[in-house]
Structure formats: structure tokens, C-alpha cells
Homo-oligomer: A and B are copies of this chain.
Amino acid sequence: MPEGTVIVETITSQALRGNPLGDPFVHRVPVYLPPGYQTGSARYPVVFVLTGFTGRGTMLLNDTAWDEALPQRMDRLIALGTVRPMILVMPDCFTRIGGSQYINSSAVGQYEDHVVKELVAFVDNKYRTIADRDHRAVVGKSSGGYGRVILAMRHPEVFGLMASHSGDMYFELGYKPDLAGAVRALPKFGGLDKLWNEIPTIRPKDKSFHDALNIIAMAACYSPNPPSPHGFDLPFDPETGELREDVWKRWLEWDPVYLVDKHIEALRSLRLIYLDAGLRDEFNLQYGARIFVQRLKERGIQYIHQEFDDGHFNIQYRYDVSFKAISDAIPD
């Protein structure tokens, strides 16, 4: 089987220099070049692959039991003729709190700018991409699925295709049921300050830890507020557990299901909108996908929507489906 090439680029981000969490602004970003790239002169479509919360692009190269790393998957799909040769880019938007949701937040950093402006330009400069929106896709899983929706809706001039696996949407069912867990967990870790400061080194990283982390990391992304402690507002009162409606409303401004009308022209312009989710999704994201595509349907926008019998984790095999959908939707 012809094998593509993986080049792990070291990229210095201006957008992330001086980011508030003190995270690195120099990242290792794998780029997959399809078989034939090295010896030929053709130009290729490019797909930005966004990982989920606690992930970064280099993890897409990880070896996994009974499964393929992303480059091997791509080699196989290309060899089978299922997918056309494409370049894959694997950004690193990991942070010390687990991620960034691929958006700009004064509490986390300018990760949206980093991806949309810096990485796109870098790749188009350095590699033989077909540098237009019709040949540039964004695909992701979980928070990465979220990221791709947000990025494609907000930057239709950049991305012409998007595919989301189990993407974060409909926060009412996706995040809200976990608020109680976060309220309960915070005191176990000595309160927000202590937890926040010790995220990387806390052991064990047990269920309580993740209950709390998920919510506070999302708060840092969705409800930043420079004067607040650590630069963001929690969506609940840590003493009583009461929802802060005003903060929650700010979260909802980032919920894809409520952004359809705002970005209706962007959505209509996309060559591909692909969404799927597992019927056992631990974060109820199959409902978010259903609601999102219902909105699209009501507005006459085309999409591909699939459900499958699995949960939220270890579902990278779904890329077989999304990469094919992307490949099929890209014009020759």
C-alpha cells in the first residue's frame, strides 16, 4: 500500500504569544501528505482535523489497539479509492486546562485566529494545497466537532466543507447535566483556585476531576471576563449551585444550534455539512446533532446526518465515513 508522508511542523504562533494561560505558542503540528505528493507536482485539497477536548493534533498519530493512526487510515482510504488524495493538517489547540474549543477567549487565548489565519496561511504557503474554500475542509470530533462547526459557520470564506463527529452542541443536554457534578466536585479539590492551579498535576484524574474540569474549561472558553478570578465566570454559584442565567446566556451564544440563523448564509454556502453521533453518546450529543439538522432542514439547507451504535469515545473509525463525504463533495 502506498504510504503518505507525515511531516511534523514546528510552528510559532503570533496569535498565541503571551496567551493568558502561559501555554506554549510554539507547537508541533503534523501534516499528512498523500502518496504521490513528494514525487509529483499536483495540488491537493486540505482537511484540518480538530481533536476533542484534552487532545491535540499529534495524538492523531498515536498507536491504538485494533485501530489505525490517522495517516494509516488515510493511506488505506486512498489506496481503496474511497477517498481522493488530500493533505491533512492536525492543529494543536491543547492548553493546560485541556483545550480551547478553537475559539478566541480572553481567558484562554486566540485559538480561532491561530487556526483560521495562521495555520491556513502556513499550509497554503508551504504546501501545494488548492488554496480555496471549495477545497478546504474542517473535520473534528467532540470539542473538535464543535470547533469545525464554529469555524465553518464563522469563516465560510475559509472553509467550504465541514464534518462533525459527536460535536458539542445543544449545551442544554450536552453540558448542563454535568453542572451538578462540577458543583459537587469543586469542594473536593479545595475550591476553584486550588483546582485551577493544579490541573496538570492533580492525581488521580478521576471522574470528579473531569466533572469539574469540563465545566470550568468551557467557562474559560465561553464566558471569559477579564476582571473575574482567572479571567472567566462560572455558570453557577459555587455555594448554592444556582445557575447564573446571565453567564449561561453567554454560553448559549456559542451553541451551534442557536447560531444557525445568524450564520444562515454561511451554512447555505457550504459544499458539505456532515454530522454524526453515537446513540450511546455519554454527553447526549446525538440530540444536539438532531436539533441542528432539524434547523437546517427547516431552512432548506442540505446536510448528511448519521447515527451509529456507539458512545462518545474511541470512534475514530467514523473518519472513514466523513473523509469519504468530504472527498465526494469536493469539486474536481
**Across the interface, do A62 and B65 meet the contact criterion of CB distance under 8 Å?**
no
C-alpha gap A311/B208 in the complex (Å): 13
Task: Let me know if A332 is at the binding interface, CB within 8 A.
Answer: no
Q: Give the A interface residue count (CB, 8 A).
A: 47
Most buried by B among A62, A201, A310: A62
Can you list, as one digit per residue, whether each of A35-74 has a CB less than 8 Å from chain B (1) or not (0)? 0000000000000000000111011011111100000000
Chain B residues lying within 8 Å of A284, measured Cβ to Cβ, are: 180, 183, 241
Copies of this chain, complex-wide, total: 4
Known A204-B310, A205-B314, A280-B204: A173·B241 in contact at CB below 8 Å = yes
With an 8 A cutoff between CB atoms, is A294 at the interface? yes
In the bound complex, do residue B204 and residue A287 qualify as a contact, i.e. CB atoms below 8 Å apart?
no
Contacts of A94 in B (CB 8 A): 65
Are A56 and B62 neighbours in the complex by a CB distance under 8 Å? no
**Among residues 165 to 203 in chain A, which have CB atoms less than 8 Å away from a CB atom of chain B?**
170, 172-173, 176-177, 179-180, 183, 199-201, 203
Which chain B residues border A172 with CB–CB below 8 Å? 242-243
Distance between A50 CB and nearest chain B CB, rounded to angstroms = 15
Give chain B nearest CB distance to A62 CB in angstroms. Answer: 4
Measured CA separation A311–B206 after assembly (Å): 8
Q: Contact: B63 with A56, CB < 8 Å?
A: yes
The interface residues of chain B lying within 8 Å CB-to-CB of A311 are: 204, 206
Q: Which residues of B contact A180 (CB under 8 A)?
A: 173, 177, 284, 287
